[in-house]
């Protein structure tokens, strides 16, 4: 099934199908499968008995719950919406000019860019690293534009 059909509610979604949708959105390098669900960094969807929960975790403990429901489709839609809004790390480089060029390419294509640069005192080897983050919904398009 295509991502658009799930996002518009034309078909119901399971956690297994959600995993495929996240991979289709080019987030496959960030998504982890678990026996009871999936996670993107600290953002999880998991099944516990008949309940499906979308939550944030820190060190394996739930710190915030977005939804708990017996409706797997509803939980999957909440999770997919959150994952596609979240700002994901796209690329980084010690070359400021390269990052500025990539930022310009993305912005010209209508993709909102968030910069989160690392200064020299926290970067590997004491060299600043310039970073680009973008929303998950634009991740695949951005990777294609920058040939990453």
Claim to verify: residue 9 and residue 77 sit in the same structural domain: yes
Asked whether residue 78 falls in the same domain as residue 96, the answer is no
One domain, residues 76 and 132: no
Look up the CATH number of the domain holding residue 141: 3.30.70.1530
The distance of Cα 124 from the centroid of its chain, to the nearest Å, equals 24
What is the per-residue pLDDT for 10? Answer: 63
Q: Which of 79, 24, 85 is nearest to 55 (CA)?
A: 79
Calculate mean pLDDT across residues 74-89.
90
Instruction: Select from 38, 65, 85 the last residue of a domain.
Output: 85
Determine the pLDDT at residue 9. Answer: 55
Say whether both 9 and 70 belong to one domain: yes
pTM across the whole model: 0.72
Residues 69 and 118 in one domain: no
Q: How far is CA 35 from CA 69, 92, 105, 145, in A?
A: 19, 32, 40, 35
Number of domains in the chain: 2
Both 76 and 8 in a single domain?
yes
Q: Of 33, 62, 85, which closes a domain?
A: 85
Q: Residue 145 CB: number of other CB atoms within 10 A? A: 15
Q: Which domain does 37 fall in, by range?
A: 3-85
The residue whose two tokens read 């979240």 is: 86
Average pLDDT over residues 54-81: 95
- 80 & 30 share domain: yes
Specify whether 8 is located in the same domain as 55. Answer: yes
Residues 101, 45 share a domain: no
CA-CA distance, 70 to 65, in Å (whole number)?
Answer: 14
User: Do both 78 and 94 map to the same domain?
Assistant: no
Domain end call among 53, 70, 85: 85
Q: Are residues 11 and 35 in the same domain?
A: yes
Q: How far apart are CA 123 and CA 91, in angstroms?
A: 15
pLDDT of amino acid 71: 97
Between 26 and 101, the more confident residue is: 101
Domain match, 60 and 114 both: no
Instruction: Average the pLDDT over each of 123-127, 128-132, 142-146 and give the range with the smallest value.
Output: 123-127
């Amino acid at each position: 099934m295509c991502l658009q059909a799930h996002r518009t509610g034309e078909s119901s979604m399971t956690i297994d199908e959600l995993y495929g949708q996240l991979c289709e959105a080019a987030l496959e390098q960030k998504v982890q499968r678990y026996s009871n669900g999936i996670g993107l960094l600290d953002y999880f969807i998991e099944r516990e008995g008949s309940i499906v929960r979308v939550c944030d975790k820190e060190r394996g403990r739930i710190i915030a719950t977005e939804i708990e429901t017996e409706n797997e489709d509803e939980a999957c839609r909440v999770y997919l919406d959150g994952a596609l809004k979240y700002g994901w790390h796209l690329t980084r480089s010690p070359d400021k000019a390269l990052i500025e060029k990539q930022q310009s390419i993305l912005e010209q294509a209508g993709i909102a860019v968030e910069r989160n640069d690392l200064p020299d005192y926290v970067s590997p080897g004491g060299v600043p690293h310039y970073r680009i983050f973008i929303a998950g919904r634009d991740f695949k398009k951005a990777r294609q534009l920058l040939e990453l």
